[in-house]
Amino acid sequence: MSALNEQALEYVAKYFKALAEPMRLKVLNALQDGEKNVSQLTQISGGTQANISKHLTLLAQYNLVKRESRGTNVYYKIADPSVYELCELVCGQIGNRMALEEDIKKLFTATSQTD
């Protein structure tokens, strides 16, 4: 990362910002098993069609998803499967931190019960 210029760092920050929205993560998760149209993504995610479309536009802007028109439907699929590796890495790290925090919490709970 140290070799990146300001413009590249700005793009990286925006890429992460695109992933920093729970609904966009739901959409990416829904696309993990194959392409879907907006109606399907709306049903799976529980969002509104307008909201899902807005999120898909942003995800497409950062080349995380691709769109393909077929008749009156637009289908979306993952453009960059490595996003799942990134998400797994982050989720694993968060899981480890949560487990550590729980272990620390148990230590303090055990200490206060023995006092």
Q: What does DSSP say about strands 36-37 and 73-78: parallel, antiparallel, or unpaired?
A: antiparallel
Question: What is the residue-level pLDDT of the chain in tens, covering all 115 positions?
Answer: 778 999 999 999 999 999 999 999 999 999 999 999 999 999 999 999 999 999 999 999 999 999 999 999 999 999 999 999 998 999 889 988 898 888 888 888 866 665 5
How distant is the alpha carbon of residue 85 from its chain centre?
A: 11
> Rounded to two decimals, what is the model's pTM?
0.79
Taking the C-alpha atoms of residue 2 and residue 95, their distance in angstroms, rounded to an integer, is 28
